[in-house]
Amino acid sequence: MPAPNPAALDFLLTRRSRPAKTLGLPVPDRDALAPILTAAVRSPDHGKLEPWRFLVLEQGAMPRLAALAEARAIALGGDAEKIAKGRGQYDAGKLAVVVIASPKPSEKIPALEQTLSAGAVCLALLNAAEAAGWGANWLSGWPSHDRAFMAEAFGLEPQEFVAGIIHIGTETAMAPDRPRPDINRLTTWVSA
């Protein structure tokens, strides 16, 4: 019989992201962030390729990234809404961890599995931040899918991409929970 961990299961059953706009100061310092990052890299990593890396955006980097997102939106002919959405998370951001998917050449481990591993790191990072008592939110936004923005803002190599941007801080307002999926509608049991 397995040994249950009711506290961990209860955390997973009740955890929820905090809206990034409700995250304020203080944010974790480097010492407080270290165990959160350590927990995140315990994600499944088939072949031990480490097909991801972290870029920690501290508050001082946010104005540069907001301006870069705005400039890129203008260069793309974006309207006011696109500009605002591009700037938004950086204007409001206090600390964020960019999880960069960095697939490695491998004959044994498909690129898709490496991408899924980067997504698992994002969720593990989100959960670890919340388990450590911080509010957290996994965002992306159009700039994180724009090759020119990613290269200039984050120094990404051509094969790399942003898997997610995890904003971490102190929750300043309690947001209501959202409706959750109907497990019975989404589950098929196969017995034979």
Q: 147 labelled as ligand-binding?
A: no
Report whether 16 belongs to an annotated binding site: yes
User: Has 138 been labeled as part of a binding site?
Assistant: yes
State the Cα–Cα distance between residues 53 and 101, nearest whole angstrom.
Answer: 7
Alpha-carbon Rg of the chain, whole angstroms?
18
* 15 assigned to a ligand binding site: yes
Q: Does 140 appear as a known binding residue? A: yes
Angstrom CA distances, 94 to 40, 67, 146, 155, stand at 20, 16, 22, 20
Query: Any binding-site annotation on 144?
Result: no
Exposed/middle/buried for residue 33 (C-beta within 10 Å: 0-12, 13-18, 19+): buried
Residue stretches of the annotated binding site: 15-17, 42, 46, 138-140
Residues flagged as binding site for FMN = 15-17, 42, 46, 138-140
